[in-house]
Amino acid sequence: MSFPATRMRRLRRSAGIRDMLAETRLHTSRMVYPVFVDGRSRRKREIMLMPGQFTYPLGSLRKLAAELEEKGIRSVLLFGVPRTKDASGSGAFSSDGVVQRAIGEIREGSSLTVAADLCLCEYTSNGQCGIIRGGDIDNDATLGTYAKIAVSQAEAGAHIIAPSGMMDGQVGAIRKALDGSGHSETMIMAYASKSASSFYGPFREAAESAPAGGDRKGYQLNFANARESMRELQLDAEEGADILMVKPAMPNLDIICRARERFDLPLAAYSVSGEYSMLKAASKLGMIDYRSAVIEAATSIFRSGADILITYSAPELAGWIE
């Protein structure tokens, strides 16, 4: 039936009705908070390009974990800034590495689910995500290093390994290494569809991971290619990923939607640093209302099909939801 018998505005007449009929709801149990840990620092430092976000010293992590749990945040994704860097990124797989120690600190003092980002860009002196040989990244040699990192992170107590380097075959290599070392219960959250994006800039300041030369377009996805993204998602699913991820979130709502329709695996979306900083900057200039814009952005990501949202706004969202 059409107007006047059908009046869609009846479904929106009051806040109570709108809330009752909301198809998409935010909940802190489905949010993951990214945490930057600096192995060289003894104090918390605000990230200039990400107002309200910080890099944390190891000694502050138990306090941070308690604060997050009090807000209702249940999961974190760890990134490390090592004490030193080298060509092989050896700090990434050291048992005494910054992320390995951070995992222990958080596991010791909280019940948070801990995911560890697995990549080399924070640990290599060249800032690339793989091992360079002959002037180019050696994909297959890098897989061996990724396997060592995964086992090291699992031994430190990570619940989830999150490989972000976009090397071919990385999920299969990591799954084999985990299973072969007695860590078959450790999950893999694959950065399966990760575009070469201009929205990563503030993150690179926080993690000190900008490439010393060139870029990462030779291994990260071309953001113009939706079908290629679906192939990457399919391959990671076949290699044993437990969770698939799309990154960045807002520019890829169509990819999230396609992935939700095609795959039954849990689907994560990463609302990246540029998305966060863009809303912060616009609100500072009085162009938008920050709270309502963040809620709208997060809701749209879940509405498109994501099960999990990795977001720097998780603590703020938790307070607003409450």
- Cα-to-chain-centroid distance, residue 105: 20
Identify the active-site residue in 71, 85, 247, 280.
247
Q: What is the sign of the dihedral through the CA atoms of 178, 255, 282 and 309? A: negative
State the Cα–Cα distance between residues 159 and 174, nearest whole angstrom: 14
State the Cα–Cα distance between residues 285 and 73, nearest whole angstrom: 29
For 96, the token pair is 């005494």
State the Cα–Cα distance between residues 110 and 108, nearest whole angstrom: 6
247 is catalytic: yes
Identify the active-site residue in 44, 194, 217, 280.
194
Amino acid occupying residue 13: R
The answer to whether the beta carbons of residues 119 and 163 sit under 8 Å apart is yes
Amino acid occupying residue 18: R
State the Cα–Cα distance between residues 98 and 206, nearest whole angstrom: 15
State the Cα–Cα distance between residues 132 and 126, nearest whole angstrom: 9
State the Cα–Cα distance between residues 44 and 321, nearest whole angstrom: 27
Q: Catalytic residues, which ones?
A: 194, 247
